Structure 1
Amino acid sequence: MNRVMKSVLLAGAAWSAASTMVMAQDAPSTDQTALDDVVVTARRRDEQLKDVPVAVSALSSEQLENTGATDITALQQQTPNATVQIARGSNSTLISFIRGVGQQDPLWGFEPGVGLYIDDVYVARPQGAVLDIFDVNRIEVLRGPQGTLYGRNTIGGAIKYVTKRLGDEFEFMGRGTLGSYNQRDALVSATIPLGDTFAVGGAFAKYDRDGFGTNLFTGEDQYDKNVTAYRASAEWTPTDQLFVRFAWDRVEDDSAPRNGHREVNSTVGGYTPPASVYDTNAGIQGNQEVQTQGTAVTVEYTVNDSLTLKSISGWRSGDTATVIDFDQTPLPTLDIPAIYSDKQFTQEFQALFSGDNWSGVAGLYYLDGESSGVFDTIAGNLGVAIAAAGYVNTESLSAYADFSYDFSDRLHASIGGRWTQDKKDAQVQRFFYLGATRTPLTGGAVRPILQTRTNYMAADTFEKFTPRVSVSYDLTDALTGYASISQGFKSGGWDMRGDAALVPQTVNGYQPETVTTYELGLKGTAFDNRLSFASAAFYSDYKDQQITTQQVATAPAVGIASVVDNAGASTIYGFEFEGRAFLTDSLTSNFSIGYLKNEFDQFITLVTGTPVDISDTREPQNSPTWSGFWAVTWSGDLAGGELNITPSLSYRSAYHLFDAPDPVLDQGAYTLVDLAAVWTAPSGHYQVALTGKNLTDEEYKVGGYNFAGPTYNNSISAFYGPPRTFSASVTVRY
């Protein structure tokens, strides 16, 4: 079935472009949005998408709305070679991979491999980062390392969530949604001008839904949603030269704990996999509570036609309390209560330059962040509880510049670089307690430490210069080709789970990893603007890769510990093709195709006691060879209003959830089929939308845990993407 769907999907994308070529020969020009009209800030300045020598997908609010997208995980379906998922054991923690590069572990101390930005403010931690789509202007997905303009931890790429400017007119929007599993969503937003130069705005969103499944042991919902989001902003434009924006946002996630589905029979207790992949028998008790918020102040001052100065100040914080049952049984075999906390301050100063044949940006960036936490591993079969606790403080300073020069009307070049210095200090603790219950660190009974496995403090400084250079040539007025070389790095650190008694070298930490990418691209419009497209072929050299492996301790006290080291190196290459085709006056098609080949060149493990390269037995995670998207929107008149109907297909070929292939957890190829219909009244004040997601009710894994064997009750579990759902919404705008 999936082989057929893959053929349909890839053929459909090609048909979109080919059909345009045939029809465009006699087609009149169209005023619909083409690539020339799409403005992005991928290089920290406003530019037409066609002119940017970067592989970037720009999804407008209209495009997201027409396909029924509800949160930023929809990017995975519409963006080639991207994985954007909700983390295992969570409802609002984000896991992102782009071109096979990212970070699956959201534990404090681990840095993400894909940077997330809300209006140019970097979001350092993944907790609470599954942003719902409202009040959004567009979302930009920058593929490949963005170390020059976006700095550390963007070695895979960057996701930019760009909100709407308030404007100088009163606006109101209210939306109510009802759907499957008792979905009840409400959204209200407004813009209120207070004079000619000042405006305030705000939005409130409440998302409620029953679970896709049930905890058969406790009766709680599984995969439910109980999220409240707030947003407020104010904009002041006292003169044509000065613009000031204040923004605040907050997200509260009070959904039930999200446990996985046991995939195999247990070795103790006789537990078998539940019939529904959304059901569990997890026994751990406790709440899941996630709260994140941020404040940002942006000031822009236009000195003259050639110089604009910009300041971006950001404050963000988050607190998470959660429980995860790794074994998915009522037994306390592998129960994990956890508490996370983080806060950050960022300050960026930019100078944007422009001249007759040149432009550029230079800036200084500062980050002061702290990430801390504690979690227990309650190992019931072993009769112990293992507490891990600690913090990481980061002070990061960087200076960057990127300039473009037009050698002629058609030949352009840019060069840039960034120097980054990360100063980090950390504390790592790991204690064994007798008794398979919560430790005192997570609120359990006070009792003495059985054994101190890890207790150290460390500090280190990581410095890196990451360059970027590109050359582009306008083959025609509507077609641009480019070549680029870019580099990014992800900072080093210490393993927060490290067991110094088992692995003494854990106290030395691990060093940064780097990705260098060589890219060729072609983008533009054709056939009287009826086809807009962007394509790229890339080759990436991934070095000093930070990899987590597991070790088991048997004496003097049994347990399990991770080892994080610069154990790997990979070669990654592939291509991407995406675009929009105006097939007829009433038919529009959006499509994307991604091909990714990700291979380990080196994978060093110390599990055997001596370094061994096991790269021939390992496969990179979250790296499907093929990904594709195809949507066709039909627009027509109905009752005097406009009706848009959009069926869409998204395809991902088989991929691995872990570096060690496992037939139980490896995900096969699958296709998601969606359908959205949006009717807008003649006045534009009212809108009705009907949406169906995953219409074929595909079951597909997005995460898992693998603790096989009798010591841990054969705990192999998986987390699944949403089943088939339907929803209806009514929107009022004034």
Structure 2
Amino acid sequence: MIARFLLLASVAGASLITSHAFAEEAPSAADSAEQASSPRGDVIVVTARRRQETAQEVTLAISVIKGDSIEATGNFNVVKLQQLAPTLQVYTTNPRNTSVNIRGLGVPFGLTSDGFEQGVGIYVDDVYNSRVAAATFDFLDVSQVEVLRGPQGTLYGKNTTAGAINITTNQPTFDFEGRAELTVGNLNYKQAKAAISGPLSDTIAARIAVAATSRRGTLFNTTTDRWINEQDNLGIRGQLLFKPNDDFSLTLSGDFSRQNPECCGTVFVRVGTTQRPITRQYDELVKAINAANPGRNYATPSRNPYDRLTDLDSSLSAGNKIGGVSAKAVWNVGPGTLTSVTAWRFWDWKPENDRDFTGLSVVSKSQNPSQQDQYSQEFRYNYESQKIDFVVGLFGFKQRIDTQGTEQQGADASRWSLSGTQATNPAILQGLTATNTQWLKSTSAALFGQLSWKVTDALTLQPGARLNYDKKSGFYQRVVTNGAGQVISCTPTPTAGTDLAAQCGVYQPQVSAPSDSAWNFTYDFNINYKIARDVLAYATYAKSFKTLGINQNGLPLNADNTVNYDAGTVKPESVNHFEVGLKTQFWDRRATFNLTAFRTEIKNFQATVNGGQFGTVRGYLANADKVRSQGIEADFKVVASDRFTAYANGAYTDAKYKKFTNAPCPPELSGGTFVTGNQTPDAPGQAGNTPSHPGASLSPRACDISGQDLPGVSKWAFSYGAEYNVPVTLLAKEGQVYLGVDGNYRSHWNSNASPSIYTDVKGYALTNFRAGFRGEGFDIFGWVRNAFDVNYIENLQVAPGNTGLIAGQPGDPRTWGGTIKFSF
């Protein structure tokens, strides 16, 4: 799919890591001779609008990271890539529950639902990947990655409201070439990559690439006596290029990737007091369980998350398979180019989790395997002339996802979740099982296009438009059986205090079949003016949307414990985006400084919310009235000489709920008795039945979080890097000895959909070093990442049940190793 202005805007936050891989702009014809003799590094040729352009002449905020730069810095998937792109935020608790946001927008933070669209599109060789799980796989034979910021719709097949990540792989060549790479490091880290390409005939070329990564886990599970959260990735891609003449080419591609790690576990981070009765909160519950089981003496193995100890007692797995085939045909027709991209992709997800985050048998089983098939077809026609360029396209997309879920309560569930005499009877909840069956069908079609009118040599106007149709339908059924295997019913509402009422309070049977469709018309307009030879100013307005959503994982309950069917569908987001930018080069174009300011306003923002209980519903979508993200991004890079290069990128992002008056409450305002009438809720973190508060605490039914920050967003983010090299002859090989450094900083952020005092993640700074010797066809270097062994948290999770338990995943400790690369 034609990426919207896929080229380097200057954010070389990674474009420059090694001098032979520094991301520099494509030269215009007038500048080719001058740039050929300039010491500014290699040239990146990008044809975002099907013609060669310099990055400084195209009006879009975009980071371009070369494949060699990705390898040198160890950022081998999208999750790691955020260390190089300050406005990219990627948070993951497992491959399915992965959030990829740009400027704080894109995916609702929290548990993933199949029923909504991704606000940040992930594309591999023009093929849209609808599931964000693709972000957790290793990059495979990648040429470069572009991170586009802001709405993309008038040049993309699939509309995205926050941006796009466009991954381009190395293509088959008619010249024989190959490359191999081997990396080893501590934690038993091993990574191997290889690719080979060449002609099969005068008109057919082929390329095949493989990659494998393994690493010991970073958390030690004292229950199983094993390291968990390991890496175990394997990928392969094959391509055939048929090119009978200069006017036509057909590329057939197939890929398959597999992950099968023991993942994804958490560690104890802290306990935060909720409004639940004090005897029903984490520490007191553990005491009660120990008292009821003499000699057990359960305790978490450590209350320091950086001891990296856990005691999870449920099976863990993150089995993940993804792959597909595609056919891309490019045909020069008259004055333009016709492109067709046909693709089928699949995703198989086989997880096993410990949803109580403890070594207690509260939730003894939590599994939600799913299988996805998607089909997409895109046609584009691109026309180019001296004054007028345009792109017009058609896009069709069809998807089906089937999920089979099982969640079961364990031997400690009654003591954990019930009160009074029921808490002393394990049989009430032990073996209680919820079995979920669900499917989703999604269809999308679009007509899109963009015009570029060169009014003068300096002034260009670029209007674009998109007409989009979406339809979603789903089915969800939860069947609940008790410990004896008997199906239970919660209709009519069971009598309070009975065993059945207790069981229905944990898992309630439910059937829903949400369905909806919507048309959307959107547009954008860009005006840019070349103030001087190397100074370009631009302004963009985009009216965009994220299409409707459906709640596919079950629906929340009303106050009377009945199913809220009105929550089955979620309104489309309405997006107004404003952006201005200035692109400059100076010092004979050795230095580039770009500045971007943006403001995005979204009505009916699709937010993930959580009811806080085990079985009513894990998480669901709801519309927040209004959200706003605004900020400034600055990017600087310099190639002082062939010996020294450097870059620095920074972003300030202020992303807030402007109006969300009926949001779920954070844990410190949850767990008590709901207020009625004119009652006033108690203070945050005021537990009930304490000496200072003898009665039950009162909790609000909903909270007004207007004005609070969106989850997952750091206000300040920076990345930087530099490299110095010296030419030498070593072991009869001519080359360069080099020393490089890169690093990044992110300020604090909150990891709960409704910001909580207990889920504030502290800011951190990471620093990486590398040193090596490279020459023609080889590169040998050693590296150390997180060189100062900084302790930091990647994400925090609120355990269900309002017990106050907060679990999390620590970031990687210091790692080190060496890499050998050869090419021919």
Per the normalisation by structure 2, the TM-score is: 0.79
Separation of aligned partners in 2, 1:155 and 1:28: 36
1:396 aligns with 2:444: yes
Aligned AA for 1:301? W
Residue number among 767, 771, 777 corresponding to 1:685 in the alignment: 777
> Is this contact kept in 1: 2:663–2:754, CA < 8 A?
no
Report how far residue 669 of structure 1 moved. 1.5
Partner-residue secondary structure (3-state), 1:62: helix
> Is this contact kept in 2: 1:517–1:539, CA < 8 A?
yes
Query: Residue 483 of structure 1 corresponds to which residue in structure 2?
Result: 539
Separation of aligned partners in 2, 1:350 and 1:393: 26
Report how far residue 294 of structure 1 moved. 1.6
Aligned AA for 1:491? T
Query: Residue 139 of structure 1 corresponds to which residue in structure 2?
Result: 145
Separation of aligned partners in 2, 1:309 and 1:254: 40
Separation of aligned partners in 1, 2:36 and 2:171: 31
Separation of aligned partners in 2, 1:561 and 1:88: 15
Separation of aligned partners in 1, 2:602 and 2:389: 31
Query: Residue 806 of structure 2 corresponds to which residue in structure 1?
Result: 716
Separation of aligned partners in 2, 1:144 and 1:611: 35
1:356 aligns with 2:386: yes
Deviations 1:358-411 (A, max 9, x none): 212110000011123133343434413334431211110000010101011110
Residue number among 749, 759, 772 corresponding to 1:665 in the alignment: 759
Report how far residue 325 of structure 1 moved. 1.4
Separation of aligned partners in 2, 1:161 and 1:468: 24
Separation of aligned partners in 1, 2:51 and 2:369: 39
Query: Residue 359 of structure 2 corresponds to which residue in structure 1?
Result: 330
Report how far residue 456 of structure 1 moved. 2.1
Deviations 1:449-499 (A, max 9, x none): 444632122321122112111001111122211000123322222222314
> Is this contact kept in 1: 2:315–2:353, CA < 8 A?
no
1:319 aligns with 2:329: no
Separation of aligned partners in 1, 2:192 and 2:181: 6
Report how far residue 133 of structure 1 moved. 2.9
Query: Residue 629 of structure 2 corresponds to which residue in structure 1?
Result: 572
Aligned AA for 1:655? W
- TM-aligned CA distance change 1:317 to 1:408, over 3 Å: same
> Is this contact kept in 2: 1:499–1:506, CA < 8 A?
no
The range that moved more, 229-238 or 283-292, is: 283-292
Aligned AA for 2:783? T
Residue number among 677, 699, 708 corresponding to 2:791 in the alignment: 699
- TM-aligned CA distance change 1:44 to 1:315, over 3 Å: farther
Partner-residue secondary structure (3-state), 1:65: helix
1:191 aligns with 2:197: yes
Partner-residue secondary structure (3-state), 1:218: coil
Structure of greater Rg: 2
Partner-residue secondary structure (3-state), 2:761: coil
1:374 aligns with 2:422: no
- TM-aligned CA distance change 1:584 to 1:239, over 3 Å: closer
Aligned AA for 1:547? A
1:645 aligns with 2:739: yes
Separation of aligned partners in 1, 2:48 and 2:716: 25
Aligned AA for 1:722? D
- TM-aligned CA distance change 1:220 to 1:375, over 3 Å: farther
Separation of aligned partners in 1, 2:407 and 2:47: 44
Query: Residue 607 of structure 2 corresponds to which residue in structure 1?
Result: 547
1:272 aligns with 2:291: no
Separation of aligned partners in 2, 1:321 and 1:535: 44
Separation of aligned partners in 2, 1:531 and 1:703: 37
Deviations 1:509-561 (A, max 9, x none): 1111132210001114211011123321001111101123233679xxx7455
> Is this contact kept in 2: 1:649–1:672, CA < 8 A?
yes
Query: Residue 17 of structure 1 corresponds to which residue in structure 2?
Result: none
Query: 5+ residue gaps in structure 1?
Result: 1-9, 14-26, 436-444
Deviations 1:618-643 (A, max 9, x none): 43111111100110111221322123
Deviations 1:341-370 (A, max 9, x none): 111000000001001112121100000111
The range that moved more, 649-658 or 694-703, is: 694-703
1:418 aligns with 2:466: yes
Separation of aligned partners in 2, 1:273 and 1:263: 12
- TM-aligned CA distance change 1:246 to 1:94, over 3 Å: farther
Query: Residue 517 of structure 1 corresponds to which residue in structure 2?
Result: 577
Report how far residue 570 of structure 1 moved. 1.4
Aligned AA for 1:728? G
- TM-aligned CA distance change 1:489 to 1:389, over 3 Å: farther
The range that moved more, 376-385 or 199-208, is: 376-385
Aligned AA for 1:89? N
Separation of aligned partners in 2, 1:552 and 1:62: 44
Separation of aligned partners in 2, 1:34 and 1:361: 32
Query: Residue 120 of structure 1 corresponds to which residue in structure 2?
Result: 126
Report how far residue 154 of structure 1 moved. 1.6
Report how far residue 612 of structure 1 moved. 5.9
Query: Residue 3 of structure 1 corresponds to which residue in structure 2?
Result: none
Partner-residue secondary structure (3-state), 1:264: strand
Partner-residue secondary structure (3-state), 1:330: coil
Aligned AA for 2:725? S
Query: Residue 94 of structure 2 corresponds to which residue in structure 1?
Result: 89
Separation of aligned partners in 2, 1:44 and 1:428: 45
Aligned AA for 2:168? V
Aligned AA for 1:207? T
- TM-aligned CA distance change 1:702 to 1:30, over 3 Å: farther
- TM-aligned CA distance change 1:52 to 1:227, over 3 Å: same
Q: Percent identity?
A: 24
1:252 aligns with 2:280: no
- TM-aligned CA distance change 1:340 to 1:715, over 3 Å: farther
Aligned AA for 2:519? E
Report how far residue 507 of structure 1 moved. 5.1
Aligned AA for 1:695? A
> Is this contact kept in 1: 2:157–2:394, CA < 8 A?
no
Aligned AA for 2:38? D
Query: Residue 448 of structure 1 corresponds to which residue in structure 2?
Result: 487
Partner-residue secondary structure (3-state), 2:81: helix
Separation of aligned partners in 1, 2:580 and 2:54: 18
Report how far residue 567 of structure 1 moved. 2.3
Separation of aligned partners in 1, 2:36 and 2:94: 51
1:467 aligns with 2:519: no
Separation of aligned partners in 1, 2:435 and 2:52: 49
Partner-residue secondary structure (3-state), 1:74: helix
Separation of aligned partners in 1, 2:405 and 2:159: 25
Residue number among 94, 98, 101 corresponding to 2:102 in the alignment: 98
Residue number among 278, 284, 293 corresponding to 2:323 in the alignment: 293
- TM-aligned CA distance change 1:47 to 1:254, over 3 Å: same
> Is this contact kept in 2: 1:88–1:704, CA < 8 A?
no
Partner-residue secondary structure (3-state), 1:604: coil
Separation of aligned partners in 2, 1:149 and 1:44: 12
Deviations 1:91-146 (A, max 9, x none): x8642110010223333223222110001110001224323234111100001111
- TM-aligned CA distance change 1:128 to 1:284, over 3 Å: farther
Partner-residue secondary structure (3-state), 2:68: helix
Separation of aligned partners in 1, 2:163 and 2:478: 33
> Is this contact kept in 2: 1:45–1:352, CA < 8 A?
no
Query: Residue 687 of structure 2 corresponds to which residue in structure 1?
Result: none
Partner-residue secondary structure (3-state), 1:127: helix
Separation of aligned partners in 1, 2:486 and 2:739: 63
Deviations 1:299-329 (A, max 9, x none): 000123x210000011100101111213222
Residue number among 453, 465, 480 corresponding to 1:405 in the alignment: 453
Partner-residue secondary structure (3-state), 2:369: strand
Separation of aligned partners in 2, 1:419 and 1:713: 48
Aligned residues: 690
Aligned AA for 1:120? D
> Is this contact kept in 2: 1:533–1:578, CA < 8 A?
yes
Query: 5+ residue gaps in structure 2?
Result: 1-12, 17-33, 272-281, 290-297, 418-428, 491-507, 665-673, 677-699
